[in-house]
Amino acid sequence: MPARIWEASAGRALVLLLVKGDDLLAEVERICADYEIRVAWVSALGAVRRASFGYYQQEPKSYVEMASDRHTMINGFVGNVSMADGRPFLHAHATFSAVDGSHVGGHLLPGCEVFAVEVTIREMTGLELERTLDEVTGLPLW
Ligand code: ZN
């Protein structure tokens, strides 16, 4: 199957400061819903008090869920927003580093408790992306 390609235009840019105690994933999704952002590119950096992430096993098509209760910094974060079940859905991967230089990370899950995180949401307009279950991968894809 060939790659699927969409073309979009740049929309609004939102710059956020998430505060101590916020849930990183839930807060970005809530703000996208409030601003009626349906498709976006998301980046973030800062620090969390708790990290929650997963790894998707291609066989047996399921996530292994992990968490770190250490205080960590977000060293890498890339994500997008599209629609799933009628609401904005954030798909993001992040890398978190600890005081000893060790890293953990993966597919962002609910439960990342913010210490302070700066987020940029770049809206994309002119297209609709809706996630539906892909039978080949077992993932909710466009
Ligand atoms: Zn993922």
* Domain positions in the chain: 19-125
CATH tag for 19-125 (out of 3.40.190.90, 3.40.640.10, 3.30.1330.80, 3.90.25.10):
3.30.1330.80
Residue 1 scores a pLDDT above 90: no
Q: How far is CA 69 from the centre of its chain?
A: 19
What mean pLDDT, rounded, does the chain reach?
97
Residue 121 scores a pLDDT above 90: yes
* Ligand 1 center from residue 108 Cα (angstroms): 7
* Ligand 1 center from residue 54 Cα (angstroms): 8
Q: What is the mean pLDDT of residues 50-77?
A: 97
Q: How many CB atoms lie within 10 A of CB 104?
A: 16
* Ligand 1 center from residue 109 Cα (angstroms): 9
Q: What is the mean pLDDT of residues 82-96?
A: 98
What's the confidence (pLDDT) of residue 15? Answer: 98
What's the confidence (pLDDT) of residue 127? Answer: 95
Q: Label the pairing between strands 62-68 and 87-97.
A: unpaired
pLDDT digits (tens, 9 = 90+) for 33-59: 999 999 999 999 999 999 999 999 999
* Ligand 1 center from residue 94 Cα (angstroms): 9
> The tokens of 77 are what?
């974060």
Q: What is the mean pLDDT of residues 119-134?
A: 97
Q: Do the beta carbons of residue 97 and residue 7 sit within 8 Å?
A: no
